[in-house]
Amino acid sequence: MEQFFNAKPLLSSIVYSILGVVVFWVSFIVVDKITPYDLWREIVKERNLPLAIIVAAMCLGIANIVAAAIHG
């Protein structure tokens, strides 16, 4: 009987997704630690819009690097 469902691609996608999120999270924590100020306080409490834009660009850059590394 022919197998209709192959679980290997689904399992690979889940594993790589979790790995990508973990790598992104760790790299964001590292960047947060090396900055000379508290990102959360500056963005949320002080409403520092330029810093929020820079952090958003950094997040997109890290996400692109992680996606490219996982995709190959």
Sign of CA dihedral 32, 37, 39, 41: positive
Q: DSSP H helical segments within 1-72, as ranges? A: 7-34, 39-40, 49-71
Residue pLDDT tens, the chain, 72 long:
556 777 888 888 888 889 888 988 998 899 889 988 888 899 999 999 999 999 899 889 988 988 888 776
Pick from 55, 62, 72, 71: nearest CA to 26: 62
Length of the chain in residues, anyone? 72
Q: Which two tokens stand for residue 26?
A: 């760790």
